Amino acid sequence: RKQFILFPPSDWANIYSFSRFHPLNRQSQINFENGDFEDFADFPLYRSASPQIVTLEPGDILFIPPLWYHHVRTLDISFSVSSINRTSLIKPAFQFLYSKRFPRGFNEDGLVQFMNRIISYFFGKDPSLVIHDLIHVRYSEHKKSIWLPTIPKMENGNRKYCEGKRRILTPEEKLRKDMMVEHVKEAVEAFPEDARHLVLIDFIEEFLATQIPFADI
């Protein structure tokens, strides 16, 4: 027998997923084997997670939807076979999302407007709260243990970078920004609804990395 703990991709913040650039990307910082998920002091957002626990008996088959997080425990001596289906929906959607070459060096107004537009559209909340969750969940140091590798801290890196560079967007820059917004919206909407927040958060993290020098992070 095997026990699966499943989380929808919308739980990316509640299970403290690693950074897009971390070697353990797509994995949780919570050590489920050591009962970290019961330690709400270190992982308070986990209170809002929606785990689905399934125990597979001999002969059972389990379908895990695309981008869902899962943790597996072996309860007895067992043998299992897994098959990954490269769905015709997910791969083209990823390729389309990252198909445009986004320019480096957005001025502060352009960067903020671009982020505000796409975050407000998909999250329906204050964009600064979403960015706060991204930094807190993926870059703050949580429970220190041998299991948890060192995670770099992200400060307000774009502040220094943007000093003295604030200016009004030219008509060409505004048009380019609006076209980028529409491209991202169309691309993200091609994903299953419960995966859109995770896909967008990963995209934002990668996009910001092209705009902010690593010396400022």
Query: pLDDT tens digit string along 69-107?
Result: 999 988 888 888 877 776 667 788 888 888 776 666 566
pLDDT by residue (tens digit) across 157-202? Answer: 433 333 334 456 677 777 777 888 888 899 899 888 889 999 999 9
pLDDT at residue number 166: 43
pLDDT at residue number 69: 92
pLDDT by residue (tens digit) across 162-173? Answer: 333 445 667 777
Q: Rounded to whole angstroms, how far apart are CA atoms 157 and 199?
A: 22
**Three-class secondary structure of residue 168 per DSSP:** coil
pLDDT band of 55, cuts 50, 70, 90 = very high
Whole-number Cα distances in Å, 149 to 30, 46, 47, 197: 12, 20, 23, 25
pTM across the whole model = 0.74
Q: Rounded to whole angstroms, how far apart are CA atoms 115 and 117?
A: 6
